[in-house]
Amino acid sequence: MSKWWKNAVGYQIYPRSFMDSNDDGIGDLKGIQEKLPYLKELGIDFIWLNPIYQSPNVDNGYDISDYQAINPEFGTLEDLKELLIAAHKLGIRLIMDLVVNHTSDQHPWFIESKKSKDNPYRDYYLWADATPEKMPNNWQSFFGGSTWTYDANTKQAYFHVFAKEQPDLNWKNPAMREEIYQMIRWWLDFGIDGFRLDAISHIQKEPWDFKITDNPWAPFMNVAGIETYMAELRDIFRSYDIMTVGEASGVNSKTAPFWTNEESGYIDMIFELEHQVRTGEPGFELGDLMGFKKVMSRWQKDMQPMGWNALYTDNHDNPRSNSTFGNETRESATALATAYMLLRGTPFIYQGQELGMTNFPFESIEEVNAADSLAAYHAWLEKGLSPEEALRLTTHWTRDHSRTPMHWTDFGGFSTNLPWMKINPNTDKINVALQQADPFSPFNYYKKLITLRRSFPVFIDGSYHIELAKHPKVWAYTRKLKSEEAYIITNLSDQPQTVTLPNRWVNAPVTILLANYQDPSWGKTTTLRPFEAMVVKKDA
């Protein structure tokens, strides 16, 4: 099988917020197809689509009621086929979310499962004896509250690690697994180019009498026995020329190489969740740079012998990095891009990140959509906080920051109708139309960065070595492949930083390949301006 994904750059699309083609205020598949030339200009190689399946949308599409149907708000199966053909003509591949830890409670399997204890689909899910007062155990769900919901009809409770409307599938059931595998093959035969496996490390659970000590998620996070199911999935994936990336919390940097190595690994790469490190009091948190670079460096080092990384700073579950790690300027957007996109692995860009889009200035809880954020807001109110304080604590780090509509023009350009979420008011200053015309914009810098990455093998196959490891504001590292050596240095702060560079960086003749200031300087003692980034290559 080809390893095309090693040389590729991905682009994550949150379909509801990318482009609305039919003016109903919701992004759709035809809107994505309309913007394929934009993505081709940016230079990306594949798209990852967040869920577009039939869903009641309790968890924004991650609660699937029909795996082989498209939610009408996004279009039709035919629209998806047209998008796939159009993308492939431009040399752009397309991967989709695979959500198989759970379904929606509106899925036909679960509707049947609830009917009786002897229903053929009962064992497709996880049921246990319970009473309204006493659940099978005290485990807590990711969305707060018990992992169990009582069903008075059958006098049992069903298990869910997310919302009660997202019952977990029983992976111990071979009949259920075979139906999932048939669905996976159906999509791959449809022509898609791979999957992002949602919450995949949760599919195996500990026995219900497992006692939690320090980690509340331990009973359903990379539990022993998951290897059997992952190996079955691997055998399907390897019969197609696709890429797979897993959201695998609980798989650490030491065990990840066994998940992603080319010989026996289950998937091609992993989205690790550790590097989203925060510092500061609740409601005032910022990204923790030292934590960020330490985690990223550890994953680089541990995956180097036989694993592969999936690289990202932004996604649909986190605030905008240009606000949390940057100062919302062109320089911070491009410095962050330089820091992560030249690491060893496959980089992912989240829609709008290439423009330096920023967090949304929430003024009312009515502007919030994410279910977990709304629950947090009401929990703060119940604790006696004022609505203003509850709003600040809720929205400071909400995932809704990344879900506001894409900025195409001064006035948004996303839809001619009222969008499903408000557009950030700074769309007149940060948008595609402006940045395409500005040679020094984040958009055009990303284009150069993508071109640079694929122009030199060192950025794909080279080793990683951190430099100035203890510097609290500067992230510097070396990529090396045989005689080819590149130096990446970024000041990830809003203050000048003076650094003493290693002799081998300055004693040999070098070329500055890319910089986010127009007049970069290079020497033994170098003062980096706020959020200055440079990529330097040793001359042959």
Q: Choose, from 247, 268, 400, 485, the residue flagged as catalytic.
A: 247
> Are residues 307 and 256 in contact, defined by beta-carbon separation less than 8 angstroms?
yes
Q: Is 23 among the residues known to form the active site?
A: no
Residues 300 and 309: their CA atoms lie apart, in Å, by: 7
Query: Would you tell me how many other CB atoms lie within 10 Å of the CB of residue 498?
Result: 10
Q: Is 247 among the residues known to form the active site?
A: yes
407-425 burial string, b = 16+ CB within 10 Å, else e?
bbeeebbbbeeebbbbbbe
Query: What is the enclosing helix (H) or strand (E) of 504?
Result: helix 503-506
- Backbone φ and ψ of 146, nearest 5°: -70, 155
> Are residues 66 and 51 in contact, defined by beta-carbon separation less than 8 angstroms?
no
> Are residues 189 and 118 in contact, defined by beta-carbon separation less than 8 angstroms?
no
**Which residues, 6 or more positions from 38, have their beta carbon under 8 angstroms from its beta carbon?**
432
| Residue 293, helix vs strand vs coil | helix
- Looking at residue 441, its amino acid is S
> Are residues 474 and 499 in contact, defined by beta-carbon separation less than 8 angstroms?
yes
From the list 364, 287, 366, the residue with the least C-alpha distance to 320 is 287
Residues 190 and 184: their CA atoms lie apart, in Å, by: 10
> Are residues 70 and 82 in contact, defined by beta-carbon separation less than 8 angstroms?
no
- Looking at residue 343, its amino acid is L
Q: Choose, from 20, 198, 272, 354, the residue flagged as catalytic.
A: 198
From the list 36, 48, 47, the residue with the least C-alpha distance to 90 is 36
Tokens describing residue 446: 């990303």
233-261 burial string, b = 16+ CB within 10 Å, else e?
bbebbeebebbbbbbbbbbebeebbebbb
Q: Which residues are catalytic?
A: 198, 247
